Structure 1
Amino acid sequence: MGNCASSKTKSIKRRDRQPPPAVTAKVIHLDGSLEEHEGAVRAGLVAARSPGCYLCASEAMEVGAHPPGVAEAEELQPGQLYFLLPVSSSCHPLSLPDLCILAIKASAALRRGSATLLCSRGTNN
């Protein structure tokens, strides 16, 4: 009536596999550079290194809304993407072109993959 075919594939364990990269909090700077934080770091510390800027979580950004800043005492979350934005941008609602520019900037930074990795293990600065 009908034909049925089946095959089994063997899973091959490779010894040369490297461990998966650590999940980091990623910060996109105004110039498009990428900074990654491995471990606990507070938003205030990151923002303090970029005078005139504040930190905004990408998840909180919406068209027509003012980009909310991350509280200075809040720790950056691994796996999340943040933007350093000029303080002046907090006074204006985000437009669709604004968000598109940020998305392009983030995409380019992530594609380049050359990031400054900062380890903050055991510190809550």
Structure 2
Amino acid sequence: MGICSSCESTHVVTAKLVLQDGRLQEYSYPVKVSYVLQKYPTYFICNSDEMEFDDVLSAISEDEELQPGQLYFALPLSRLRHPLQAEEMAALAVKASNALMKSGDKCACRKKLVCPVTSPGDGSPRKMASGGGAGRLGRGGQGRKFSAMLGAIPEQ
């Protein structure tokens, strides 16, 4: 009878794409990356679960479909195959959090989006100890490991 069960039962799971300008596009149906790139030819799409700081950014194949429940980013081609710095990851996490809040997808069940590289409260970047995949941006991939220095971006 709680609010969480009612909001989850009516919520449609979508693939979420955060654009460079901070807007969010949601797809409730299967869509190929190639279709999305027709609208944004100077960008590439990457899965947030595959993003790690100090690791190079890689594009999802144009033949792949965006998966419901996953968060993706459209990034400029100039960033392809460049290492993702902790500060850049923090900025992307803030951008995703803002986009999700603006989208009207405010289920009372979710209180915050975890950001592995920001300090609590002020949103400023902080360095994390590297190693073992600590510091992935996504919200649900396999093999995700976080260090004990997690922060949060509270919804307002």
What's the TM-score once normalised by structure 1's chain length?
0.75
Is residue 54 of structure 2 the alignment partner of residue 54 of structure 1? Answer: no
Q: Among residues 45, 58, 64, which one is paired with 2:54 in the alignment?
A: 64
Q: Among residues 81, 91, 104, which one is paired with 2:81 in the alignment?
A: 91
The answer (yes or no) to whether the contact 1:54–1:84 under 8 Å persists in 2 is yes
Mapping of residues 72-87 of structure 1, within 5 Å: 72-87=62-77
**C-alpha deviation, 1:114, in angstroms:** 5.0
**C-alpha deviation, 1:91, in angstroms:** 3.4
In structure 1, the partner of 2:32 is 42
Q: Secondary structure, in 3 states, of the residue corresponding to 2:67? A: coil
Letter matched to residue 59 of structure 2 = G
Is residue 91 of structure 2 the alignment partner of residue 101 of structure 1? Answer: yes
> Higher relative contact order by CA 8 Å / sep ≥ 6: 1 or 2?
1
Q: Among residues 11, 21, 28, which one is paired with 1:21 in the alignment?
A: 11
Identity of aligned residues (%): 39
Deviations 1:37-86 (A, max 9, x none): 01110011112211210000000001111111110000110000000000
Give the ranges of 4+ consecutive aligned residues of structure 1 lying more than 2 Å apart after TM superposition. Answer: none
Is residue 20 of structure 2 the alignment partner of residue 30 of structure 1? Answer: yes
The answer (yes or no) to whether the contact 2:58–2:81 under 8 Å persists in 1 is no
Q: Secondary structure, in 3 states, of the residue corresponding to 2:41? A: coil
Q: Whole-Å Cα distance in 1 between the matches of residues 34 and 72 of structure 2?
A: 13
The answer (yes or no) to whether the contact 1:44–1:73 under 8 Å persists in 2 is yes
Aligned length: 101
Structure 2: state its 5+ residue gaps.
106-156
Larger radius of gyration: 1
Q: Secondary structure, in 3 states, of the residue corresponding to 1:91? A: coil
Structure 1: state its 5+ residue gaps.
1-10, 116-125
